Structure 1
Amino acid sequence: MITAGVVGAAGYIGGELVRLLLGHPNVRLTAAFSTSQAGRRVDGAHPNLRGLTDLTFSPPDDLGEHDVLFLAVPHGQSMGNLLTYAKAAGTLIDLTGDFRLRDPEVYADYYGTPHAAPEEIPTFVSGLVELHRAELRGATRISVPGCMATAGVLALHPPAADGLVTGDVTVDARTGSSGSGVSAVRENLHAERSGALRVYAPVRHRHEAEIRQATGMPARMTATAVEAVRGVQVLCRVRLAEGVRERDLRASYRRHYSGEPFVRVVAERRGRFRLPEPKILAGSNFCDVGFAAGPGGGHALLVAALDNLVKGGAGAAVQAMNVRHGWPERLGLAFPGLHPS
């Protein structure tokens, strides 16, 4: 049994971390930290947790000591307070964008500000378990990738690694309103967002840099806000290498993901659920990936879907924690989603 604390526990991803850790058989959640909610009950901010915990939010100026500390704080805060956080826990699992990019110049380019701790970037291991499982075993600093980046990388990785695609990649990402966080600005309020399909990042979304870094592909990404509360779906349009057909894509995905506990290949030729849809994944740690290509090859569409707060955030962090400690990856993450929902 290990102890864990969550910094930024009043937010949406922080709440999902609390939910998952309360149900984890090998973890005792000892503290939930929040500046704005300090002194108030955790189940006041997260009413789905009523009857499951008597915890109250603690102020983050006195972190105490924990085996693992999850950082669900705004971008920039982790690198600014890294030494403070490191003194409070043997393992840090960061859910911000602060340590996702390996090149501080790329970080400055995409985030519009210099990195505050570039010398610490190499101390972090990527929390994308499917690509970094070996490095995560025993890791003490883990950086969880962004939600749309996770979907884009998992969609692109098999054909990119196997040399089945070439040239530029266009990533069309759609995301629900919870991705804006609990303190959403006016344009993300329900009255403004309901019924809308808003292209809020027509070029150079930050997750584009993560996709490029992880796949080596020259990806260009657009992000659109859709009416859903939870969920991410990405459509990756790619050019196939000479002679590559849909059967080659299917073989590649099966080879890379056949043993993965949380990646499912969904690419059916008929039926209602032919390609990945985020709705049925709400609350689960699954990422469904799929593809479609014409019989003559040439181009293909790669699709991935996940819950942005779970596999795109809190669930990925818990999965990485499981790997770090040598536990079964499904531990505390067994919920399969709902249908209908």
Structure 2
Amino acid sequence: MPNSSTTNFTNPSTFILLGFPGLEASYKWISIAFCAMYTSAVLGNFTILFIVKTETSLHEPMYYFLCMLAISDLVLSTSTIPKILSIFWFNAKEIDFSACLTQMYFIHCFAVTESGIFMAMAFDRYVAICHPLRHSTILTKPMVAKISLAVVLRSGILALPYPFLARHWSYCRTNIVPHSFCDHIAIVKLACSDIRIGNYYGLFVLFFVCLDVFFIAVSYTQILRAIFRLPTKEARLKTFGTCGSHLCALLAFHTPELFSSLTHRFGNNIPLHFLILFANVYLLFPPMFHPIIYGVRTKQIRDKLHRLFTYKGT
């Protein structure tokens, strides 16, 4: 292992992830919580994928996007949590430089992917509620495929400069990363080069995410206008209920994401262990929570789960 205090080196072969500085005494309990949440996320998202695949009534645009969300959640959590658990359980803090940059790419790529998926889901709800008679002609399978491809390509391209810039910076101070995973902001702070481009680019990507939120807000403004024009309270509640799962999942993802990004950039007085803990919760809580939201609030998924468990119990 290279000396962590070495100076005047460029592109170290490894980084040292500190984990949660200041919370070492609580690693046992934190690891139990993280392991339980990760297991729940994996089981829940694979269950969603299985149900949508086997239930023909769910072969609709909203559920295709839900499958994309499940896959994105699995990749996002799996790119970080196994390594974090190895720090907790085996003190395996060392990570290869290239592996660190790969992890950084996957984190940012699939975080932006999720934002794009939520925007696609909002568009689906807008068409379904505001133009119900045209829903099947607008959101055809080829159109859903094009939207999905655009979401994936956009996130892949937007995330590409992160590892590219990080690879070309000089690291002359230390290779110790005061974080539990290779977060872009944590790596930036180790560089001795001019990192202004990296900081500006991070804000540029954040602007794109905020732009997604803006388009989602516009969609739901139109949706609410259409709902309030419905003649009865029962019809309004029933129609709004079709958006409930999406809104809950949206809040579960975007609220901690924006809070984590802003506090890392501007929260100079916030304790480091709190920032790291919250960054990990942001990567783990939505993947765990999304299957629960859709499982509880979506009747078709509830019915399929009930049939599965009833069949196994007979």
TM-score by length of 1: 0.28
Question: Per residue, is there more strand in 1 or in 2?
Answer: 1
Larger CA Rg, structure 1 vs 2: 2
TM-score by length of 2: 0.30
Higher RCO (C-alpha under 8 Å, 6+ residues apart):
2
